C-alpha cells in the first residue's frame, strides 16, 4: 500500500495516506484517463483516476483535513570564508 499511496500522491499532487491496514504485495493494473487527455477527441473510453481507483481497486479516496509537516526557510546567508 505504501507504493500505491506514493504513486497516487504524485499523480494527484496531494498527500495520500493509507488508512486501510492492508499489508502484503499486490500486482495491480489500473486503466484511467489522465486529466490532461479529457479534451482529446481520440482519447479511448476510460474512467478518470479517482473513479478507476474506486472501481478497479475497490479503494475510496476521501478528502480530509489534517496536519502536514512543512519546512520553512525564513533566512539564508552565504557562508563566510573562514
Between 82 and 70, the higher pLDDT residue: 70
Distance (Å, rounded) from C-alpha 68 to C-alpha 79?
31
Distance (Å, rounded) from C-alpha 54 to C-alpha 51?
5
Phi/psi at 51 (nearest 5 deg)? -70, -40
Q: Helices (H) and strands (E) in the chain — how many of each?
A: 2, 0
What pLDDT is recorded for position 37?
A: 64
Domain region containing 36:
1-82
Q: Model confidence over 1-50: pLDDT tens digits? A: 888 899 999 988 888 989 998 888 888 888 887 776 666 677 667 788 88
Give CA angle at 39 (38, 41), nearest 5°: 105
Provide the number of structural domains found in the chain: 1
Amino acid at each position: 500500500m505504501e507504493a500505491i499511496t506514493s504513486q497516487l500522491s504524485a499523480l494527484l499532487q496531494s498527500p495520500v495516506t493509507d488508512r486501510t491496514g492492508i499489508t502484503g504485495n499486490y500486482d495491480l493494473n489500473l486503466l484511467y484517463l489522465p486529466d490532461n487527455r479529457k479534451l482529446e477527441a481520440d482519447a479511448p473510453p476510460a474512467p478518470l483516476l479517482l473513479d478507476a481507483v474506486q472501481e478497479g481497486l475497490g479503494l475510496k479516496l476521501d478528502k480530509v483535513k489534517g496536519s502536514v509537516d512543512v519546512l520553512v526557510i525564513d533566512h539564508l546567508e552565504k557562508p563566510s570564508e573562514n
